[in-house]
Amino acid sequence: MLRPLLDPYRRYRHARLIHAVRVSLGLLATILLTTGINLPHGEWASVTMLVVIGGLQHHGNIGKKAAERAIGTLIGAAVGLALVAQEAWLGMPWLTYFAMAVVCGFFSYHAIGKGGYTALLSAITVFIVAGHGDNPVTDGLWRGVDILIGIALALAFSFALPLYAVYSWRYNLADALRDCAAIHARIINGQSVSDDEYHKVMGRLNTVMVQLRSLMPSVSKEVKISMTELDAIQRHLRLCISTLEILGNTRPDANDPVAMANLQSTLKAEHRLVRVQLIGMARALKSGATQRLSRPAELPTDVSLDAPVYNALDGYRLLNRQLAANIGQMRQRLAKTAPRWNI
C-alpha cells in the first residue's frame, strides 16, 4: 500500500497532490487540537499552519524557509504583545499607533533584501496579535500560544513524506537529455531544424535549463552535492544544447541525398556514441540503475580532435566528437555523484 508513496518517480509526478494532502491533514490536525482543548482564537493556529508550510514543497527548502517563517512569526508575536501591554498600561492610543507605524516601517525596511520574508511576517503578526493595540493582553497571549502551536504542527507535517528537489532535478535532467537525443536524431536524419516541432523542443530545453538552475540550491542542501559539481553538470548540458544548435546549422544540405548518405555512413560511430550516452544517462536518472553510467564509452580512434580540417564534413565530424566528449564528461560526473542523488 505504501509502495506507490515511496516510489521516487510517483512522488515527483504527484508532488502537488501529496503537498496538498499534507497541508490539508496538517490543517485538520490543527483545528481538532485547538477545538478539542477549547483554545481561544484557535483559528490563528490554522492561519500560522498555512503561512508556514502552505507554499513549501521541497525538503531542501523546509529547514531554512520554515525557520525564517517561524522566527518572523515569533518576533511579530513578541512585539505585538509588547504593544498590547504598553497600551493597557499607559492607555495612550496615539502612542500605540505611532509605535505600530514605526515598527512596521522598520520591518518594511528589512523586508527588501535578504531575510525579507522574515521581516514581512513579523509585521503581519504584529497586527494579528495586537490588532490596533486595543486587544486585551490575555487575547494577545492566547494568540501567541496559538501561533506557537501552529508553528510546531507545521514543522511536524513538513517532514512527513518530504518532497525532495533532487527528484525534480534528476527527472527534469533525464527529460532534457532525451530531448537532446531527439534533436540529434533530427539532425543526422536530415529532418528540418527550422520547423515548429524543432523550435518546440528547443524551447522546452531552455525552460528546463532555467528550472534546473532554480533547483540547484535545494538539491545541494538535500543530498550534499556541492554547488560547484551541480554547476559543472549544468554547464555540460548547456554546452550540449549549444553544440546541437551549431550542428543543425552546419550539417550538409538535407536535400542532397548523396551528402546525407555520406554523413550517415562516415559518422555512424560518432552518432551512435552520442545517442547511446544521452539515452543511457536519461535511463539511469529516471530508473536509478546507475551501473550503466560506469560502462566505458570511447570515441573511435581513427580521427583526433586536433586533426586538420580539409572539408565541411571534417568540421562537422569534429563537432560531433566534441559533443560526444562533452557528454562523456557529463556521464562521468553523474556516475561520481550517483550515490548521493539516487535516493
Of the listed ranges 83-87, 169-173, 205-209, the one predicted with least confidence? 83-87
The last residue of one of the domains, among 158, 177, 198, is 158
* pLDDT over threshold 70, residue 136: yes
Quick check: pTM over 0.85? Answer: no
Q: Over the stretch 305-320, which tens digit does the pLDDT of each residue have? A: 444 444 556 677 788 8
Q: Say which residue, 291 or 338, is predicted with more confidence.
A: 338
Q: Say which residue, 35 or 305, is predicted with more confidence.
A: 35
Query: pLDDT at position 144, please?
Result: 73
Query: pLDDT at position 228, please?
Result: 93
**Mean of the per-residue pLDDT values for the chain?**
81
Same domain as 104, residue 198 = no
The last residue of one of the domains, among 118, 136, 158, is 158
Same domain as 234, residue 126 = no
Query: pLDDT at position 140, please?
Result: 67
Question: For 297, left (φ over 0), alpha (ψ -120 to 50), or beta?
Answer: beta
Same domain as 235, residue 300 = yes
Query: pLDDT at position 63, please?
Result: 65
Query: pLDDT at position 47, please?
Result: 83
Same domain as 304, residue 223 = yes
Same domain as 154, residue 176 = no
For residues 263-269, average pLDDT:
71
For residues 36-49, average pLDDT:
82
* pLDDT over threshold 80, residue 173: yes
Query: pLDDT at position 106, please?
Result: 87
8 A C-beta contact, residue 73 and residue 121: yes
Domain CATH number, residue 283: 1.20.58
Q: Over the stretch 60-85, which tens digit does the pLDDT of each residue have? A: 666 677 677 778 878 888 888 888 87
Q: How many domains does the chain have?
A: 2
Per-residue 3-state assignment (H helix, E strand, C coil) for 35-68: HHCCCCCCHHHHHHHHHHHCCCCEHHHHHHHHHH
Q: Say which residue, 296 or 37, is predicted with more confidence.
A: 37
Q: Say which residue, 116 or 304, is predicted with more confidence.
A: 116
Same domain as 200, residue 137 = no
> What share of residues in the chain are helix, strand, coil (percent, to 5)?
80, 0, 20
CA 3 to chain centre: 24
Same domain as 128, residue 177 = no
Which residue has cell 583526433? Answer: 304
Confidence of residue 297 (pLDDT cuts 50, 70, 90): low
The last residue of one of the domains, among 158, 191, 223, is 158
Same domain as 209, residue 81 = no
Same domain as 146, residue 20 = yes
For residues 122-140, average pLDDT:
75
Confidence of residue 301 (pLDDT cuts 50, 70, 90): low
Same domain as 299, residue 281 = yes
Maximum CA extent, the chain: 95
Same domain as 176, residue 115 = no
Cα–Cα distance, 156 to 137 (Å, whole number): 29
Q: What percent of the chain has pLDDT over 70?
A: 84
* pLDDT over threshold 90, residue 237: yes
Same domain as 195, residue 136 = no
Confidence of residue 230 (pLDDT cuts 50, 70, 90): very high
Cα–Cα distance, 163 to 21 (Å, whole number): 12
Q: What percent of the chain has pLDDT over 90?
A: 17
Domain residue limits at 133? 3-158
* pLDDT over threshold 90, residue 181: yes
